[in-house]
Amino acid sequence: MFIKGEWCDAAGGKTFEVTNPATGEKIADVADGGQADAARAIDAAHAAFAGWSGMTAYDRSRILYKAWELMSARQADIARIMTQEQGKPLRAAMNEVRYGADFLLWYAEEGKRVYGETIPAPRADQRFIVLHQPVGVVAAITPWNYPASMITRKVAPALAAGCTIVLKPAEATPLCAIEIFKVLADAGVPEGVANLVTGFDPAPIGEEFVTNPLVRKITFTGSTETGKLLAKGAADQMKRVSLELGGHAPFLVLKDADPVFAAKGAVLVKYLNSGQACICPNRLFVHRSGVDAFTEEFVSRVTRMRAGNGLDDGISIGPLVNEKAIEKVERQVADATAKGAEVLCGGHRLMEDGLDRGHFFAPTVLANVTPDMLIYREETFGPVAPIIPFDDDDDILAMANDTHYGLAAYVYTQNLSAAMRTFEGLRFGIIGINDINPTGAAAPFGGMKESGLGREGGHEGLGEYLETKLGGFSV
Ligand code: ADP
C-alpha cells in the first residue's frame, strides 16, 4: 500500500494472493488492508489537502504532466502486468495503458482552466462572483476490468482540481494500481496527496470511506448493486458521489444499414475484454431484412477468434475474471436455450489445451433471443452475443430503451435523420453512431438511470471534484 508518501504493509501484516485468471497461478502477494489502514490513509489525505489545494494549478499541472510522461514510458511493463493479473490480450492492455495515460495529460491541461464567473446582480450596489473549489478528500473505488484507466480517470481530475485522494483498487487487480501509484510517486506527487489501500475484503474499507467525515466525495466504478450500497451510505453525511455502474447496451442495425459493416463493428465491441466492459452490447437488435447477412458475417468472425493466454500471439479472447463470472454466463446461456434460443457457436466453457486451468468461455452467439430470457434484461459481462430480429424501425427506440440501465448504445444506419432521431431518443449517456468507440479523455463518459450519476472525462469530469461557491458583495 502507499500511504503518506510511503510504501507500507497492512496494519495487521496480512497479505492476499493475486492470481493469473488464464492459468490459475499465483503471481504476487499484496498487502491485505482493512478499515484501520483506510482511516490512516484518509488522515494523510486530509493533512495534505491544504498544501495541495493551495498550490497553483500550474504547479499541479507540471506534476500530472510528468506522470503522463512516466506512464507512457512504462506502458509496455504496465501492460504486461495487466495481462497477467487481468487476462486481456497484450495489445488490448497496451491500448488501455495509453487510454489511461491520456487522462493524466488531458487533466494536466484542463486543471488550468477552472474558471469562475461574474454574474450581473439584481442591485446596483451588489456584485456576484462564482468560484469553483476542490471538494476535499476523495475516496475512490475501482474495478478489475479496466484496472489502469479507471484509476487515472478518477485520480487525474481529482488531483487537477486540488483534491487529495485515497484509492481502493479491485481485489483481483491491485498490481496495476501499484504501478500507477509508483508513477505518481516518481512524478513528484507530494506526501499524502495520493494514497493507495489494497485489500481482499472491500467491505470494511468501503465502510470507512462512507462513514469517515473527513471524506467529502466518493467516486466509484463497478456494479450497480455495490454503487447503490455506497450511495445509500454516502447519503448519511451527504457526501458527493459519482457512480459509473452497469449497462445493458442495445446495438441497433436499422433497415438501411449495411449489415456486414455493422457486424464487423458489433463483433469488435461485443468481445472487447471478453465481453467484460460496461459498454459492451447486450442486445443486438437487427432489422429482419438484414439479419441473415449480419448473422453470417458475425458468426464467421467469431469462429475465427482464438481464446487463450493474452501473452501469446494471436489471442483475441482472454479469460473471464473468476468462476462466478463463468457461472453467470453459463446460467444465462442455459436459460436462453431452455426458452428457445439457438446457439450458433460456442455456448460452453473451454477446457481443452490447458484452458481448464483458467476461466475461459467460448465466444458465443445466440439467435432468436426474446424478452422473457434472463440475458435480455441482465448484464452478461461475458462473451455472449444475443441477436434479436425486429420488423419496424419505428418500434426500435421503445425496445432499446426498455431497460433500467442507460450507459451506452450503438446505432448503425446510413440515413441522417434516422441517426439524429435515434441519437436524441435513446435514453443512454453514450451513443455510438456507426461508431464502436465513442470514448476519450476529453469526452464525458457516464450513464443515465441505474447506470450511474455524474460523468468522467472531459470538463464535466473535472466538475465532479469541484464545489461551486457564490459570493454576493455589497460595494
Ligand atoms: P464486480 O461484481 O464487477 O466485481 P463490484 O461492484 O463488486 O463489481 O466491484 C467493483 C469494486 O467495488 C471493486 O473494487 C470491489 O472491491 C468494490 N466493492 C465491492 N463490494 C464493496 C463494498 N461493499 N464496499 C466497497 N467496495 C466494494
Indicate whether residue 320 lines ligand 1 (CB < 6 A).
Answer: no
What ligand 1 atom has the least distance to the C-alpha of 324? 2
Q: Cα separation of 151 and 111, whole Å?
A: 17
- Beta-sheet pairing, 2-3 with 6-7: antiparallel
Judge if 160 and 105 occupy the same domain: yes
What ligand 1 atom has the least distance to the C-alpha of 381? 3
Residue 202 lies in a domain: yes
Most informative mutation of 16, 32, 141, 146 for ligand 1 (most atoms within 8 A of CB): 141
Most informative mutation of 196, 226, 278, 359 for ligand 1 (most atoms within 8 A of CB): 226
Judge if 317 and 182 occupy the same domain: no
CATH code, domain carrying 301: 3.40.309.10
The confidence score (pLDDT) of residue 39 equals: 98
Residue nearest to atom 12 of ligand 1 (CA): 222
Specify the pTM.
0.98
On whether the CB atoms of residues 350 and 360 are closer than 8 A, the answer is yes
The rounded mean pLDDT for the chain is: 98
On whether the CB atoms of residues 463 and 115 are closer than 8 A, the answer is no
Annotated active-site residue 8? The verdict is: no
Judge if 189 and 262 occupy the same domain: no
What ligand 1 atom has the least distance to the C-alpha of 226? 6
The confidence score (pLDDT) of residue 282 equals: 98
* Backbone angles phi and psi of 454, in degrees to 5: 85, 175
Give 209's pLDDT tier (boundaries 50, 70, 90): very high
Give me the number of domains the chain comprises: 2
Domain of 463, in residue numbers: 2-245+449-474
Indicate whether residue 16 lines ligand 1 (CB < 6 A).
Answer: no
CATH code, domain carrying 176: 3.40.605.10
Judge if 89 and 214 occupy the same domain: yes
Q: Cα separation of 203 and 35, whole Å?
A: 9
Residue 269 lies in a domain: yes
Judge if 279 and 336 occupy the same domain: yes
What ligand 1 atom has the least distance to the C-alpha of 207? 24
Indicate whether residue 201 lines ligand 1 (CB < 6 A).
Answer: no
Judge if 356 and 392 occupy the same domain: yes
The confidence score (pLDDT) of residue 99 equals: 98
Residue 355 lies in a domain: yes
Residue 209 lies in a domain: yes
Active-site residue, selected from the candidate residues 278, 297, 450, 456: 278
pLDDT tens per residue across span 139-167: 999 999 999 999 999 999 999 999 999 99
Nearest C-alpha neighbor of 282 from the set 406, 176, 118: 406
pLDDT tens per residue across span 29-86: 999 999 999 999 999 999 999 999 999 999 999 999 999 999 999 999 999 999 999 9
Residue 441 lies in a domain: no
The confidence score (pLDDT) of residue 14 equals: 98
Q: Cα separation of 412 and 384, whole Å?
A: 20
The confidence score (pLDDT) of residue 431 equals: 98
The confidence score (pLDDT) of residue 115 equals: 97
Judge if 287 and 341 occupy the same domain: yes
Residue length, the chain? 475
Give 435's pLDDT tier (boundaries 50, 70, 90): very high
Judge if 240 and 261 occupy the same domain: no
Judge if 227 and 282 occupy the same domain: no
pLDDT tens per residue across span 94-111: 999 999 999 999 999 999
Residue 439 lies in a domain: no
Residue nearest to atom 14 of ligand 1 (CA): 170
Judge if 258 and 134 occupy the same domain: no
Residue 347 lies in a domain: yes
Judge if 202 and 134 occupy the same domain: yes
Residue 176 lies in a domain: yes
pLDDT tens per residue across span 272-308: 999 999 999 999 999 999 999 999 999 999 999 999 9
Judge if 92 and 232 occupy the same domain: yes
Instruction: Please name the amino acid found at residue 180.
Output: I
Average pLDDT over residues 124-144: 98
